Amino acid sequence: MNRNQLNIRLMSGNEACAEAALIAGMRFFAGYPITPSTEIAEILSRRLPKVKGVFIQMEDEIASMASVIGASLAGVKSMTATSGPGFSLMQENIGFAIMAEIPCVVVNVQRGGPSTGLPTNPAQGDVMQARWGTHGDHPAIVVAPGTVNQVFEWTIKAFNLSEYYRIPVIMLLDEIVSHINEKVILPDPSSLAIINRKHTTKMPGEYIPYQNNANMVPEFIEFGLGYHYHVTGLSHDESGFPTNTPGIVNKLIRRLNDKIEKHRHQIIKLKTEFVDDADTFIIAYGSTARSAHFVARMNRAKGIKIGFIQPLVLWPFPGKEIADIVKNAKSIIVPEMNLGQLSHEIECACARPVISVNRVDGNMITPEDILERL
Amino acid sequence: MFPYSKYLRTNRLPHIWCTGCGCGIILKAMLRAVDRSGIDRNTLIFVSGIGCSSRTPGYIDFDTLHTTHGRALAFATGIKLAKPEMKVIVLTGDGDACAIGGNHFIHAARRNLDLTVILYNNRIYGMTGGQPSPTTPYGEKGTTAPYGSIEPSFDVCRLAAAAGAVFVARSTCYHATQLDKLILKAMNIKGFSLVEILSPCPTYYAHLNRLGTSLDLLMGYKRNSIPVEKARRLDPSELKDKIVTGVIYKTERPEYFEEYHKLQQGITENGRLR
């Protein structure tokens, strides 16, 4: 394609997220203002009414998450965007969406924590909260792009994963990825694969809302079409009604988890560079992957055998896949803007210690921070 | 006799409510109102929170959503905005709507989105075994208020009207024949409508406060109720501990989605309003 024909734009991560969500078919956004995610709501408040979509600012993040689930159950692709304190409030209804299998996308632009923490500074302290924030044994899909281009691409993928597996997908951005402005080559929307939830072809009366099937994802039908079915956050049987029969509850909880775990190979994605002959590896995600990639490139130029691994999907955790790549490594370096949340997972998966490079002072991890430990 | 089974998931019966509970009286009144409304039942969606009242949707044959504690109105907001052609009815209780869901309650009323709320007020948390709620009268007991509640209670109807509801009514489970009329009126309102219904909880509320049986509570509703038309002629001091019944408040205000729809229609390509 001629360079003049390319749709090239300078945009921030938050802008790319909003634009990609619209392309993915998102037509309902509910949110509550919170730094550093607010631009996503601001952009969508302008854009959604023009495409017959709905934007609503709710009274808090609890209500935002609830109305997103309501809209999705009524058949509309839905999302919300927030940051740490709001993400904490959303946990209750994220659990509901997991239990009731309602697709939606939740963007968490990470800032310093705990509590109100550092509203305007980046952090990556919500890696474990994104996995385990809501109570009970549950599955999770969490994606963590590191560039504006990746935000664009993975926002669409987040919707696709959410729709396909009927699960809320968490996008872990951070203040840097959200606010940095970069060149983005916008793809032709018609060239993009957009996945929509599988609607049942069964008639009312025949439809069993939570019936298991080959891929462990029940068929969907939106409310309002005469199917008269029941949705609850209580443990339920295949018909959707509450039960505390141990065998049925056991089957439900295992199916919900297996639905993601047994398809992990289709969900996880590692970006790798210089890994084939590497003896030292840097593993980084989100904006930290930018510094990590810079260090890897710089050292390769000097002839040092260093490899770069960026997990774009953090959960399900690509432990086996990472362990396979780094099995002959002399050293593994894991920089992250927290006290070692993913380092610990990598150590477990690889059964060996890693060098954890950490910052929790509201500043990014610089290439120098990594070089010091090389 | 009214053909209730037409609207019931009979295979889900028997229900979990205690003998003497008011939930069944409200459920039946609601089904009579739905029937009389003539609304296509495929366009009705029921949403509830958590508690005794909120188990109602499990027993009625419509699209039904049983959500998290206090959040029914927020879920309902998403459904209604995604499918404005639907009639969305929210079933909730005094703890669900006025304590944990209090913020959602006042903001849903303020927005005046077209939702009908039926609030079962039994003045106690029944499902968890009898703790005081925001509508437990001062001095009355619950299992976590063993010496009597030292908190004043909410007047749910005044709260809703002050927050922006356009239709507010109250009745009791004693006035069963009035209930379906009030619910039907509420359903026919375009905007946020509330029907508060005093409902007996013999197992906890009556037992802990030595108020007798469910029948005693119902007879208490009869004794203490005053129709709103009569109440308006009385001095406020004469209304102490009385239950004012009927359409308490009614007004007209733009409905939320009508306003939003204007926004959708009025926006031109360059983003300016016409």
Percent of chain B with pLDDT over 70: 97
Domain A3-191 sits in CATH 3.30.70.980: no
CATH code for the part of the protein at A273-371: 3.40.50.920
On average, the pLDDT of chain A sits at 97
Q: Which SS3 state, helix, strand or coil, does residue A340 take?
A: coil
Confidence of residue B268 (pLDDT cuts 50, 70, 90): low
Q: What is the pLDDT of residue B269?
A: 54
In this structure, how many other beta carbons lie within 10 angstroms of the beta carbon of residue B42? 16
The Cα-based distances of B240 to B134, B137, B158, B243 in angstroms read: 18, 12, 15, 9
> Residue A63 and residue B103: Cβ atoms within 8 Å?
yes
pLDDT higher than 70, residue A218: yes
Let me know: does B15 contact B59? Beta carbons within 8 Å: yes
Q: Do B62 and A228 touch (CB under 8 A)?
A: yes
Are B58 and A230 within 8 A, CB to CB? yes
Q: Which residues contact B134 (CB under 8 A, 6 or more apart)?
A: B94, B95, B98, B99, B102, B151, B153, B154
Tokens linked to B18: 């205690």
Residue B258 in contact with partner chain A when CB distance is under 8 A: no
Q: How far is the first Cα of chain B from the last one, in angstroms, to the nearest whole number?
A: 55
Residue of A nearest to B40 (CA): A226
Confirm if B93 and B120 have CB atoms less than 8 A apart: yes
Q: A287-306: per-residue pLDDT in tens?
A: 999 999 999 999 999 999 99
Run of H or E residues at B178: helix B176-187
Which residue is it, tokens 């019944």? Answer: B245
Q: Which of A4-8, B42-46, B191-195 has the lowest mean pLDDT?
A: A4-8
Burial of B10 (0-12, 13-18, 19+ CB in 10 A): exposed
* Higher-scoring residue by pLDDT: A26, B264: A26
CA atoms within 13 A on the CB side of B182: 29
Are A223 and B65 inside 8 Å of each other by CB? yes
CATH 3.40.50.920 intervals, chain A: 273-371
Of B41, B68, B263, the CB nearest to A233: B68
Residue position matching structure tokens 């909120």: B54
Q: Which amino acid is at A292?
A: A
pLDDT exceeds 60 at position A1: no
Residues A59, B64: C-beta atoms closer than 8 Å? no
Residue B161 touches chain A, beta carbons under 8 Å: no
Q: What is the pLDDT of residue A2?
A: 60
Q: pLDDT-derived band of residue A13, with 50, 70 and 90 as boundaries?
A: very high
Question: What's the pLDDT score for residue A49?
Answer: 95
Q: What is the pLDDT of residues A19-69, one digit of tens each?
A: 999 999 999 999 999 999 999 999 999 999 999 999 999 999 999 999 999
Which residues share a beta bridge with B145?
Answer: B142
Q: Are A62 and B74 in contact (CB < 8 Å)?
A: yes
Of A49, A71, A234, the CB nearest to B263: A49
Residue A109 pLDDT greater than 80, yes or no: yes
User: Which candidate in A72, A92, A229, A232 is best for mutational testing of the B interface (most B CBs within 10 A)?
Assistant: A232
**Tokens at B35, concatenated:** 């029937």
Contact in structure between B66 and B74 (CB atoms under 8 Å): no
Written as one letter, the residue type at B248 is: I
CA distance from start to end of chain A:
41
Instruction: For residue A141, give both structure tokens.
Output: 């899909």
Task: Please judge whether B81 and A227 are an interchain contact, meaning their C-beta atoms are less than 8 angstroms apart.
Answer: no
Q: How many CB atoms lie within 10 A of CB A96?
A: 22
Q: Nearest by CB to A63, which of B47, B63, B104?
A: B104
pLDDT higher than threshold 70 for residue B230: yes
Beta pairing, strands A181-186 & A7-12: antiparallel
Kindly identify which residue of chain B lies nearest to residue A234, measuring between CA atoms. B66
Which residues of chain B lie closer than 8 angstroms to A243, CB-CB? none
State how far residue B231 is from chain A, nearest Cα, in angstroms.
Answer: 35
pLDDT of residue A110: 98
User: Which of A52, A59, A203 to mutate to test binding with chain B, by most B CBs within 10 Å of its CB?
Assistant: A59
Average the pLDDT over B2-16 and give the result: 97
CA distance A323 to A343: 13
Q: What structural domains does chain B harbor?
A: 4-266 (3.40.50.970)
Cα–Cα distance between A9 and A184 in angstroms, integer? Answer: 5
CB contact under 8 A, A73 and B43: no
Asked if B78 lies within 8 A of A92 by C-beta distance, the reply is no
pLDDT of residue B266: 81
The 10s digit of each residue's pLDDT in A137-184 is: 999 999 999 999 999 999 999 999 999 999 999 999 999 999 999 999
B177 near A CB under 8 A: no
Please check whether residue B31 touches A, CB under 8 A.
no
Task: For chain A, give the percent of residues with pLDDT over 90.
Answer: 98
Residue ranges, comma separated, of all CATH 3.40.50.970 domains in chain A are: 3-191
Tell me, yes or no, if B43 comes closer than 8 A to chain A by beta carbon. Answer: yes
* Distance (Å) from the alpha carbon of B24 to chain A's nearest alpha carbon: 19
Total H helices, total E strands in chain B? 10, 8
The pLDDT of residue A6 is: 83
Closest to A257 in 3D by CA, of A119, A108, A88, A141 = A141
